[in-house]
C-alpha cells in the first residue's frame, strides 16, 4: 500500500496498537501526526525523532480546542482513531463519573476527531479515509457484562462509524472501524497470565487491517465494523 505524500493522523499512536500502525504507515511512505497526553508516552515512543513523525501534546481529545490543534494546517488523507481507555465495572457499581469517563475517553474523543478530520478532508477536496476502533462488545453486547460503561461507549463508536460513513460517501471519504477482541500485548498478558495468549490477535495483524481500510487501495469498503478476533 502506497501512502507516499499522504498525511495521516493517528490518535493513540504511542500505544501498543498505535505503534504497530505507525510503523506500517512509515514503511509505506506516510507522514504521521500523533497526539499524546503524557510526556512519558512521547519519550518512549519507538518512532520519536523520525522526520516523518510529528508528536503533539494535547490535554484531552474530548476537548474541542485540543482536537482542533491536532488537525490544524495539514492536508489530511486519513485519520485513525485508536485512543481510548478501558475500565471494568458492573452497572450497580458504576457511578455517573465513571460512565462519563468512558464515554468521553472512547466516544466523545472519537466523534470530535472524526469531525475535525472530516472538515480537513472536505477543505482539501481530495477525499480520504477515517478508521475508528470499536471493540468486540460493541458487536456482541452480552460479552460486555461486567464492563457495561465501556461497552456503551464502544457501541457508540460503532454506530457513529456507520452513520458517518453514510453521510460522507459521496464526498469520497470512506469511514470504517475495526472491532478487536483482547489483543496480545504485554499489558494484557500481565493482567490475564492464565489466558490462552496464542488465540489473541497480534497488534501487527490488527494494524494490517486498519492500514488497508485507511489506504487508497480501499476503494469501496465503507460503513463496516470489521471483527479482528484472531482465534479468540
Burial 25-58 (b: 16+ CB within 10 A, else e): bbeeebbbbbbbbeeebbeebebeeeeebebeeb
Q: Measure CA 173 to chain center.
A: 17
Active-site residue, 150 included: yes
Q: Measure CA 146 to chain center.
A: 23
Give me the catalytic one of 36, 71, 150, 229.
Answer: 150
**How far is CA 180 from each of CA 132, 205, 206, 220, rounded to the nearest angstrom?**
11, 10, 7, 22
Dist. CA 47–CA 9, nearest whole Å: 14
| Dihedral, CA of residue 130, residue 60, residue 36 and residue 162, to nearest 10 | -20
Q: Which residues are catalytic?
A: 150
Amino acid at each position: 500500500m502506497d501512502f507516499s505524500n499522504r498525511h495521516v493522523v493517528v490518535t493513540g499512536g504511542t500505544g501498543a496498537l498505535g505503534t504497530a500502525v505507525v510503523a506500517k504507515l512509515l514503511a509505506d511512505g506516510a507522514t504521521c501526526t500523533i497526539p499524546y497526553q503524557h510526556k512519558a508516552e512521547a519519550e518512549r515512543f519507538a518512532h520519536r525523532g523520525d522526520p516523518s513523525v510529528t508528536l503533539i501534546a494535547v490535554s484531552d481529545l474530548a476537548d474541542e480546542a485540543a482536537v482542533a490543534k491536532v488537525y490544524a494546517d495539514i492536508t489530511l488523507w486519513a485519520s485513525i482513531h485508536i485512543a481510548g481507555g478501558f475500565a471494568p465495572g458492573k452497572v450497580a457499581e458504576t457511578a455517573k463519573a465513571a460512565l462519563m469517563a468512558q464515554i468521553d475517553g472512547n466516544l466523545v474523543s472519537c466523534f470530535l476527531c472524526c469531525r475535525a478530520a472530516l472538515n480537513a478532508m472536505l477543505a482539501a477536496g481530495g477525499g480520504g479515509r477515517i478508521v475508528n476502533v470499536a471493540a468486540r462488545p460493541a458487536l456482541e453486547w452480552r460479552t460486555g457484562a461486567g464492563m457495561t460503561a465501556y461497552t456503551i461507549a464502544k457501541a457508540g463508536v460503532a454506530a457513529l462509524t456507520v452513520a458517518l460513513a453514510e453521510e460522507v460517501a459521496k464526498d469520497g471519504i470512506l469511514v470504517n472501524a475495526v472491532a478487536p477482541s483482547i489483543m496480545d500485548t504485554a499489558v494484557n498478558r500481565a493482567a490475564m497470565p492464565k489466558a490462552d495468549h496464542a488465540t489473541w490477535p497480534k497488534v501487527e495483524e490488527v494494524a494490517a487491517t486498519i492500514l488497508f481500510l485507511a489506504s487508497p487501495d480501499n476503494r469501496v469498503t465503507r460503513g463496516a465494523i470489521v471483527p479482528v478476533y484472531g482465534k479468540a
